[in-house]
């Protein structure tokens, strides 16, 4: 389902919660922004868990949704990604129509709660060779799958008012599967009306690049473990670091504590320093017996209540970042 991203192969680049206010005084530090995101957004139990964590801590998250988890059997057979045979997906499809019904109810509930619902395209394919037309093809598949989700599982009469407008216009961000991009990506994102991309990796916490009006965010490298070696601030990369991508329940608590310590250190450096936004990424999979989700819960519960901190979605972060001054141009 995932691919490890080695440091040597990376081209390193660079409704708000009540605490998030854009009218900061010039002599005050900016808000310390914390942006938590999830790739895939499929497991319905983790929808419930993540929304509960957010609600308990006044946080808003970003969900990068893989659209194959909205497809019934007929749609799954018809879906065809660029360069792939019909009916293929690297992450599978929805288990059943009941599974889709539960998922779209979670999506709508999260949307109403102020979270970002963003795109992870559809079948989780590596787009490093894709043209702009290829990206647009998969983006359109994702848009249509989300737009028609209630109808396709026999719930047209229960579709919430405003769903179609939400699915067509309110999905404003994208993260590429495997964090793998091509020259065609940004033009396709612009054509689709996306406001931001979150597919980069940066040497540490960094302000986004702005490319033709598109905000390009990057998950940071953060120090972790006894030797403070750098690792991408994402659960899968920690999973590979800790146990070589193999489940190790016996050491789950150790991995949780190491992860929590790394998150806290990365946060403290910015909170006590330049207040560069901190971005951390997760998947809807509880690796190493839930170590990384437990660390996430502890971290959010600790930092989101601090003075001068705003735990926000990517779309909420953009005006707060823009208020700081001229962003870096890509």
**pTM, 2 dp:** 0.91
Q: For 86-133, give the DSSP string.
A: TT--SS---S-HHHHHHHHHHHHHHHHTT-EEEE--SS----TT--HH
Query: What token pair was written down for 19?
Result: 């605490």
Dihedrals phi, psi of 245, to nearest 5 degrees? 75, 20
Q: Is the CA virtual torsion 6, 61, 283, 196 positive or negative?
A: negative
* pLDDT at residue 12, rounded to an integer: 35
Pairing of strands 328-329, 173-174: unpaired
* pLDDT at residue 328, rounded to an integer: 63
Contact 287, 236 (CB under 8 A): yes
* pLDDT at residue 326, rounded to an integer: 62
Q: Which of 214, 297, 286 is nearest to 260 (CA)?
A: 297
Contact 206, 218 (CB under 8 A): yes
Contact 258, 237 (CB under 8 A): no
Report the half-sphere exposure of 314 (CA within 13 A, side-chain side).
Answer: 32
Quickly count: other Cβ atoms within 10 Å of residue 323's Cβ.
13
Dihedrals phi, psi of 38, to nearest 5 degrees? -130, 130
Ranges in the chain, pLDDT < 50? 1-26
């Amino acid at each position: 389902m995932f691919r490890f991203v080695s440091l040597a192969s990376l081209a390193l680049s660079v409704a708000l919660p009540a605490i998030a206010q854009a009218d900061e005084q010039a002599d005050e530090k900016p808000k310390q922004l914390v942006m938590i995101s999830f790739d895939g957004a499929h497991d319905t139990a983790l929808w419930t868990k993540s929304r509960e964590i957010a609600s308990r801590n006044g946080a808003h998250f970003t969900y990068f949704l893989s659209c194959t988890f909205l497809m019934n059997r007929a749609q799954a057979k018809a879906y065809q990604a660029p360069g792939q045979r019909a009916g293929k997906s690297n992450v599978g499809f929805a288990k059943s129509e009941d599974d889709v019904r539960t998922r779209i109810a979670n999506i709508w509930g999260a949307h109403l709660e102020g979270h970002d619902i963003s795109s992870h395209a559809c079948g989780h394919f590596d787009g490093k060779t894709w043209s702009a037309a290829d990206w647009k093809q998969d983006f359109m598949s994702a848009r249509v799958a989300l737009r028609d989700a209630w109808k396709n599982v026999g719930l047209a009469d229960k579709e919430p008012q405003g769903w179609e407008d939400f699915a067509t216009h309110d999905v404003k961000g994208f993260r590429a599967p495997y964090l793998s991009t091509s020259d065609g990506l940004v033009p396709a994102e612009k054509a689709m009306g996306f406001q931001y991309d979150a597919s980069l990796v940066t040497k540490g916490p960094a302000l986004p690049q702005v490319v033709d009006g598109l905000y390009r965010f990057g998950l940071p490298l953060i120090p972790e473990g006894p030797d403070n070696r750098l690792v991408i601030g994402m659960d899968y990369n920690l999973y590979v670091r800790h146990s070589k991508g193999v489940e190790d329940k016996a050491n789950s608590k150790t991995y949780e504590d190491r992860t929590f310590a790394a998150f806290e250190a990365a946060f403290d450096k910015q909170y006590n320093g330049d207040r560069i936004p901190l971005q951390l990424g997760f998947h809807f999979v509880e690796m190493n017996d839930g170590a990384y989700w437990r660390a996430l819960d502890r971290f959010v519960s600790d930092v989101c209540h601090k003075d001068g901190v705003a735990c926000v979605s990517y779309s909420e972060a953009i005006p707060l970042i823009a208020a700081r001054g001229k962003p870096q141009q890509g």
